[in-house]
């Protein structure tokens, strides 16, 4: 697990070694164990290394035997052992035991087809110096990040935006449409980011830059069978197959590492299953890590303790208070590199710090289960709305709304008639996004606070629906909702702002068995009713692991992971930095939010202390605070020289200046 970066210039002087060195330095947290730089007349590749597999031999950038093909690689190919054997049979010779070298030979042997064979999580750059061709690739669902900025003959790429920003020549500004997407979907939709001129490679895509120009295309896409044509209809058979694949996925993620692997335990069913599988099916000693809250509303300690007792694992936990969230929040936004509408990433940053402080570099988590196996409330919402839309006049159908959100302190059952109006908005049975409209509408309420100038630029509004695959109208409605979720929130928020960025911010790699290639491909061809049975979420998963997870955890109503929002900042005196970044001057400099409504919002937060703040007010406050922090950190502040020292030892292979050194 690592950080990657580089610059390729097809026409012009060689890439600036100083610049790439600074880019590497800004990715230090992703790879504190060492760094590397390769440069020739057209390309410079940089790397920071978190040594996990072949900790002695796997330094990067790494090349093929004749040093014509170079790679900078972030991630893991979990089936690298099997692929390596296949490649050896084809005559390839290996110098290291690393999965990175397998990628190089796989590219030589299979070209772009190699990506379809990888089961893993990656972002990588391959430079073919003979062909003068750069290839970028990203894993299927976007576990690992990859950003770039380009014109026709030059491209700069990096694991994080802050490394691209090491170039003082790069214009720094927000992209209004990117902000609009975040304030609708909670995240941008790749390739867009919130920064003008900075793109991200879409998950499941390959991009190529060579003398023929720049092009990109998918090697894989999220796909579902037409409704009622799903190949396996027997629920027992499907449960058995799901179990087999998940056990293998969790096992691979535990044993394919040369350093010990820990496991997150949230108290929910997903992480309980991954931890239980490891305890049952591997010899590895199990060390679990949990997040607790001083605030009882968010705490899941009872369920975590139940599972710890069940597993007999060595266990660590951290208890997070609202003040902890406020304290760490600026650093959190420095890593999310996008506005966030919840504080939820912050406690995860503190959790990965706990993991690191216990000497672990790798954790397995339950992330992805909700998207892949139908766990989210939004899927239940979609089903209720679709059920209702088919007979809108029904006196009883709308009562189904009251079944939603039993966990919420202020749930629709409290004001049921009003909730019916809320969930009854835009009720159109033919709408492919029927599941997501209420969320998008309530999130969009934040945009009423935007500055008039910015609002003037947002005439059309974002449109992810038009990108849905042709043929998706024949899918089950659950599949369409899953596609939307896997295209927006999963890569853009869950796996990045709550995932990679919070983990790598503390030099910890996350591994996600539920996002295993074999698991996802099976899950996507299951009948929808096996995933969401009536309103019972992750139905098949509960059946498949009935014996490994206690009833208390299997049958508890799903509690979405949340943390205190407005209350984190306003329970006492708001932190000084918050007052600073939300000052009228700072707001005017960013130009995103209008000062008057922000002043009103802050006054309300100060008055109430954030106690029982509504959903929209929480999103408003977080949008303002995180956007303003981001503006200060990435638009105004160019970064200091102290950010920019690459981690030692640093290996340099510079063919322009004829240098080969390690220092």
Partner 1 sequence: MHDQIRNELREFIGDNYLFGDHDRLPEDEASLLEEGIVDSTGILELIEFLEDHFGIVVGESETVFENLGSVGGLTRFVASKTLAGQTVG
Residues lying near partner 1 in the complex (CB under 8 A) are found at 410, 412, 414-423, 425, 441-442, 444-445, 448-449, 596-601, 603-604, 612, 614-617
On whether the CB atoms of residues 610 and 149 are closer than 8 A, the answer is: no
Angle in degrees, CA 73, 132, 203, rounded to 5: 40
Minimum CB distance to partner 1, residue 576 (Å)? 23
**Closer residue to partner 1, CB minimum distance, 467 or 596:** 596
Minimum CB distance to partner 1, residue 419 (Å)? 5
**Crossing angle, helix 615-630 and helix 322-336, to 10 degrees?**
50
Bridge partners for 320 per DSSP? 293
**Closer residue to partner 1, CB minimum distance, 410 or 555:** 410
CA distance 121 to 195: 25
Which one, of 139, 138, 133, 160, lies nearest residue 149 by Cα? 160
Minimum CB distance to partner 1, residue 229 (Å)? 37
Length of the chain: 663
- Which residues 6+ apart lie within 8 Å of 311 measured at CB? 275, 276, 279, 286, 288
Minimum CB distance to partner 1, residue 617 (Å)? 7
**Closer residue to partner 1, CB minimum distance, 280 or 422:** 422
- SS3 percent helix, strand, coil of the chain, rounded to 5, is 45, 15, 40
- Which residues 6+ apart lie within 8 Å of 163 measured at CB? 3, 5, 23, 24, 26, 27
**Closer residue to partner 1, CB minimum distance, 418 or 579:** 418
Minimum CB distance to partner 1, residue 182 (Å)? 17
Phi, psi (deg, nearest 5) at residue 297: -60, -30
Which one, of 7, 33, 9, 10, lies nearest residue 20 by Cα? 7
Bridge partners for 216 per DSSP? 207
Calculate the alpha carbon distances from 336 to 147, 182, 320, 484, 497 in Å: 13, 13, 19, 21, 5
CA distance 296 to 192: 38
**Closer residue to partner 1, CB minimum distance, 412 or 510:** 412
Q: Count other C-beta atoms under 10 Å from residue 57's C-beta.
A: 15
Minimum CB distance to partner 1, residue 216 (Å)? 36
**Closer residue to partner 1, CB minimum distance, 218 or 416:** 416
Minimum CB distance to partner 1, residue 407 (Å)? 13
Minimum CB distance to partner 1, residue 341 (Å)? 13
Which one, of 238, 194, 471, lies nearest residue 337 by Cα? 194
Minimum CB distance to partner 1, residue 424 (Å)? 9
**Closer residue to partner 1, CB minimum distance, 162 or 447:** 447
CA distance 157 to 578: 32
User: Look-up: residue for tokens 């991630």?
Assistant: 75
Minimum CB distance to partner 1, residue 624 (Å)? 11
User: Look-up: residue for tokens 């406020």?
Assistant: 326
**Closer residue to partner 1, CB minimum distance, 417 or 588:** 417
**Closer residue to partner 1, CB minimum distance, 355 or 581:** 581
Minimum CB distance to partner 1, residue 447 (Å)? 9
Q: Are strands 650-654 and 314-320 parallel, antiparallel or unpaired?
A: unpaired
Q: Are strands 659-662 and 650-654 parallel, antiparallel or unpaired?
A: antiparallel
CA distance 452 to 209: 39
């Amino acid at each position: 697990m690592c950080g990657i970066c580089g610059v390729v210039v097809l026409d012009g002087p060689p890439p600036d070694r100083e610049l790439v060195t600074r880019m590497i330095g800004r990715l230090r947290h992703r790879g504190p164990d060492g760094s590397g730089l390769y440069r020739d007349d057209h390309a410079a590749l940089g790397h920071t290394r978190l040594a996990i597999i072949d900790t002695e031999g796997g330094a990067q950038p790494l090349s093929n035997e004749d040093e014509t093909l170079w790679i900078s690689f972030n991630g893991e190919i979990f089936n690298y052992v099997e692929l390596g054997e296949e490649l050896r049979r084809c005559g390839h010779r290996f110098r290291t035991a690393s999965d990175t070298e397998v990628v190089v030979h796989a590219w030589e042997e299979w070209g772009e087809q190699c990506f379809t064979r990888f089961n893993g999580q990656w972002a990588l750059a391959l430079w073919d110096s003979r062909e003068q061709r750069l290839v970028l690739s990203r894993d299927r669902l976007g576990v690992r990040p990859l950003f770039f900025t380009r014109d026709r003959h030059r491209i700069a790429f990096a694991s994080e935006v802050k490394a691209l920003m090491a170039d003082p020549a790069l214009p720094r500004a927000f992209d209004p449409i990117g902000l609009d997407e975040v304030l609708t979907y909670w995240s941008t939709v790749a390739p867009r980011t919130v920064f003008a001129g900075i793109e991200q490679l879409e998950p499941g895509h390959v991009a190529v830059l060579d003398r023929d120009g720049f092009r990109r295309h998918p090697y894989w896409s999220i796909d579902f069978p037409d409704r009622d044509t799903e190949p396996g209809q027997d629920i027992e058979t499907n449960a058995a197959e799901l179990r087999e694949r998940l056990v293998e996925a969790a096992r691979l993620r535990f044993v394919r590492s040369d350093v010990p692997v820990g496991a997150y335990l949230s108290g929910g069913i997903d992480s309980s299953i991954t931890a239980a599988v490891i305890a049952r099916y591997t010899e590895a000693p199990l060390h679990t890590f949990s997040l607790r809250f001083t605030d009882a509303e968010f705490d899941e300690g009872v369920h975590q303790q139940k599972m710890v007792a069940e597993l007999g694992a060595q266990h660590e936990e951290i208890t997070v208070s609202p003040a902890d969230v406020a304290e760490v929040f600026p650093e959190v936004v420095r890593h999310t590199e996008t506005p966030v509408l919840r504080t939820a990433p912050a406690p995860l940053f503190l959790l990965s710090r706990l993991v690191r402080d216990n000497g672990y570099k790798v954790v397995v988590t339950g992330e992805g289960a909700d998207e892949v196996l139908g766990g989210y409330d939004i899927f239940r919402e979609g089903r209720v709305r679709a059920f209702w839309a088919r007979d809108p006049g029904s006196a009883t159908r709308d009562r189904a709304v009251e079944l939603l959100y039993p966990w919420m302190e202020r749930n629709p059952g409290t004001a049921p008639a009003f909730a019916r109006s809320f969930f009854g908005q835009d009720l159109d049975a033919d709408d492919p996004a029927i599941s997501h409209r209420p969320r998008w509408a309530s999130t969009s309420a934040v945009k009423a606070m935007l500055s008039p100038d910015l609002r003037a630029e947002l005439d059309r509004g974002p449109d992810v629906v038009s990108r849905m695959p042709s043929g998706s109208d024949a899918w089950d409605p659950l599949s369409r909702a899953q596609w939307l979720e896997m295209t927006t929130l999963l890569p853009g928020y869950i796996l990045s702002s709550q995932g990679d960025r919070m983990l790598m911010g503390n030099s910890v790699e996350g591994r996600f068995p539920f996002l295993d290639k074999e698991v996802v491909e099976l899950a996507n061809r299951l009948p929808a009713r096996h995933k969401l049975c009536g309103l019972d979420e992750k139905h098949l998963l509960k059946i498949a692991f009935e014996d490994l997870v206690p009833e208390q955890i299997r049958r508890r109503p799903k509690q979405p992971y949340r943390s205190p929002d407005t209350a984190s900042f306003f329970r006492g005196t708001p932190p000084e930095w918050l007052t600073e970044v939300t000052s009228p001057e700072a707001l005017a400099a960013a130009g995103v939010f209008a000062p008057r409504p922000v002043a009103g919002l802050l006054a309300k937060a100060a008055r109430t202390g954030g106690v029982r703040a509504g959903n929209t007010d929480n999103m408003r406050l977080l949008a303002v605070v995180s956007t303003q922090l981001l503006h200060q950190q990435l638009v105004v502040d160019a970064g200091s020289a102290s950010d920019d020292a690459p981690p030692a030892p640093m290996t340099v292979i510079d063919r322009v200046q004829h240098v080969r050194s390690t220092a």
